[in-house]
């Protein structure tokens, strides 16, 4: 008599298929964007049929939304865990740097394997970050609540700076980080090869240094700095 698969095996197979679809879709979307990728190409690369896409995600748009949201919960969890450990000190250069670092690290990855695993995701976010459509569908729900927590922390660190200026500066920081980590090769050309977009550690450190200086520059003139 043929042995039926157990519920555990069914769940395991389903989870593996679900994640395989997401991984292949993430890679394809990161290269050609939403409009440039067909469901046929995704199913072919993932080794599944169209029915699997419809079963797990409902539609191409549902799949794209799932790809965008896939890694956010864990990233948000890491950011908030780290944020809770930071002592917020008024006008502190150290506090500003700590806030920037713990916000950036989950996007880059803690280990070499994570850095590699997140490569396609970083490129995808760079492609869609300025899309009005995906701002309302994904970013507003999955990204903004944590970003607002960091804006509040920066505002407490720089209490003499108007909140609207903190918001503008953080928005510029968000734009810079998706560009810096997308590995587009542009910095290679602009620098004549002196800088490499694939050198993510250098990009990380330069972005922290640049953004920290920008936030410190928002303070009223002649104000001291706590290091």
Is 133:141 a contact under the CB 8 Å cutoff? Answer: no
Check residue 2 and give its pLDDT. 44
pLDDT digits (tens, 9 = 90+) for 173-204: 999 999 999 999 999 999 999 999 999 999 99
pLDDT digits (tens, 9 = 90+) for 61-76: 999 989 988 888 889 9
Structural domains of the chain in order of their starting residue, each with its CATH number: 7-69 (1.10.10.60), 72-216 (1.10.357.10)
224 — pLDDT class (breaks 50, 70, 90)? low
Helices of type H across 70-162: 72-85, 93-108, 112-117, 119-128, 132-134, 144-157
Task: Compute the distance between CA of residue 62 and CA of residue 227 in angstroms, rounded to an integer.
Answer: 47
Check residue 1 and give its pLDDT. 44
Q: How many other β-carbons are positioned within 10 Å of the β-carbon of residue 36?
A: 11
Element (H, E) at 33: none
Strands (E), the chain: none
Is 190:54 a contact under the CB 8 Å cutoff? Answer: no
């Amino acid at each position: 008599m043929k042995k039926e698969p157990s519920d555990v095996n069914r769940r395991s197979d389903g989870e593996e298929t679900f994640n395989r679809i997401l991984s292949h879709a993430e890679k394809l979307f990161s290269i050609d964007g939403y409009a440039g990728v067909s469901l046929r190409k995704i199913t072919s690369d993932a080794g599944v049929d169209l029915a699997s896409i419809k079963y797990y995600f409902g539609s191409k748009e549902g799949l794209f939304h799932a790809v965008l949201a896939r890694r956010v919960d864990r990233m948000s969890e890491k950011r908030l865990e780290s944020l809770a450990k930071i002592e917020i000190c008024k006008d502190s250069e150290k506090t500003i740097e700590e806030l920037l670092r713990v916000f950036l690290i989950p996007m880059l990855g803690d280990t070499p394997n994570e850095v590699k695993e997140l490569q396609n995701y970083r490129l995808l976010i760079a492609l869609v970050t300025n899309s009005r459509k995906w701002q309302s569908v994904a970013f507003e729900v999955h990204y903004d609540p944590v970003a607002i927590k960091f804006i509040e922390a920066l505002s407490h660190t720089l209490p003499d700076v108007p909140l609207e200026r903190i918001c503008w500066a953080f928005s510029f920081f968000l734009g810079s980080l998706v560009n810096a980590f997308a590995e587009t090769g542009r910095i290679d050309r602009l620098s004549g090869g002196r800088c490499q977009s694939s050198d993510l550690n250098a990009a990380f450190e330069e972005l922290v240094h640049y953004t920290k200086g920008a936030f410190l520059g928002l303070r009223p003139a002649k104000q001291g700095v706590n290091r």
